[in-house]
Structure 1
Amino acid sequence: MSQITESPMKKISLEKVVLNMGVGKSGDVITIARKALDQISGKKSSARNAKETQRDWGVRKGEPIGAAVTVRGKDAIELAKRLFEAKGHKVNGKSFDNFGNYSFGIKEHIDIPGVKYDPQIGILGLGISITLTRPGYGVRTRSKHKARVGKKHVIKNQEAKDYLVKEFGVTIT
């Protein structure tokens, strides 16, 4: 009897978790958002600048309007578990794309386990993007001889859902 084994190059893993808070204006609110992200992730967050001027909203190009932090490795896995716990281990099936990414939002950051209410910060919402990867995906981002990932190697929508169900025990609605 021959046993069908999956190629080690097909193994899916968690690449990164990106937390983002779009505040819409610069000043003290950026500092508060960065403090909240630092508290959630345990990493140092950075301010994100406006890419273009929006006169109707009073936003100038280059002005800080948000904060974000990227978490990788074992810390990302632990953070993803806490974030899924905050959502009740339920994920929306429509929030997956066809390249191994899953995005969702949390309305109150104090819902995340391990985060306590701080009157100086208040209650803020945030957006979360989880990126999955396979060995060989580095060809897209390397500095020399960038290349596309082949069609058969791209993480499909259903594969990403199966990975999250298996690794994090979430249910897809």
Structure 2
Amino acid sequence: MTQRLQHSFFEQIVSTIQNKNLSQIPRLQKIVINRGIGDGNTQIIDSSLQEFQQITGQKALIRYSKKSIAGFNLQKKTPVGVSVTLRRNFMYDFLDRLINLALPRIRDFKGLPLYSFDGCGNYNLGLDEQLMFPEIHYDQIQQICGMDIAIVTTAKTDYEALTLLKAFGMPFQKFFTKSTTLKK
């Protein structure tokens, strides 16, 4: 079953770009969602795994530390985070719910900042809490935690990625500053 954004991408976005080869058109590759857990508390890790599965519809993975760091009281192979990588239908479904349901529920939301592009056509954003997703209920959470979302595209430049994400309906801020100018 194709998702709504995936269908609109192939029907509207690809058909409007006539001058490029089909393989040169920027696309979404994957969306990576992760959350860092400060301490290795098993309750918080289990609740984060359950929340990510509710939000994304896909099982999340526990990430472990690779080496010991004495300054942080961190031992090797201690759980430090939760991560999930979305591709294909799961990716388009999550992006659709992020754009149309979660982001409008943020208090005093003025749009996503333009300076979060990484220079290679990928966009990163951080959310302060998980309560903006309608699948998460306030009385069922252990702790309010944020998450990082990385939207990876095949675009070569930030301008191409911005154009692609705007075509999907991503709400970006309306104003430009000197630090947010994007190169074509």
Range into which the TM-score falls when normalised by the shorter chain: 0.7 to 0.9
**Post-superposition offset of 1:129:** 0.6
Residue of 55, 59, 81 corresponding to 1:66? 81
In the other structure, the counterpart of 2:123 is 102
**Post-superposition offset of 1:33:** 1.4
Could you say which structure has the higher strand fraction?
Answer: 1
**Post-superposition offset of 1:94:** 0.7
Deviation string for 1:20-76 (max 9, x for gaps)? 010022231211211111111111001001122222221112211100111111221
Amino acid at match of 1:165: K
Asked whether the 8 Å contact 1:82–1:113 carries over to 2, the reply is no
Q: Distance in 1 between matches of 2:73 and 2:130?
A: 27
Identity over aligned pairs, percent: 27
Amino acid at match of 2:67: E
After the TM superposition, list the runs of 4 or more consecutive aligned residues in structure 1 that deviate by more than 6 angstroms: none
Q: Distance in 2 between matches of 1:81 and 1:115?
A: 17
- Secondary structure at the residue paired with 1:111? coil
Residue of 63, 71, 74 corresponding to 1:56? 71
Q: Distance in 2 between matches of 1:11 and 1:120?
A: 41
Deviation string for 1:60-110 (max 9, x for gaps)? 122111001111112211211222342338221110012221111111111
- Secondary structure at the residue paired with 2:63? strand
Q: Distance in 1 between matches of 2:40 and 2:116?
A: 29
In the other structure, the counterpart of 2:107 is none
After superposition, the Cα gap between the structure-2 partners of 1:8 and 1:36, relative to the gap in structure 1 and judged at 3 Å, is same
Gaps spanning 5+ residues in structure 2: where? 1-17, 105-109, 175-184
- Secondary structure at the residue paired with 1:91? coil
In the other structure, the counterpart of 1:8 is 22
After superposition, the Cα gap between the structure-2 partners of 1:172 and 1:6, relative to the gap in structure 1 and judged at 3 Å, is farther
- Length, aligned pairs only: 150
**Post-superposition offset of 1:169:** 4.2
Q: Distance in 1 between matches of 2:45 and 2:170?
A: 34
Residue of 22, 25, 28 corresponding to 2:39? 25
Deviation string for 1:126-166 (max 9, x for gaps)? 11111112xxxxxxxxxxxxxxxxxxxx6101110111011
Residue of 137, 142, 154 corresponding to 1:121? 142
Could you say which structure has the higher helix fraction?
Answer: 2
After superposition, the Cα gap between the structure-2 partners of 1:100 and 1:157, relative to the gap in structure 1 and judged at 3 Å, is same
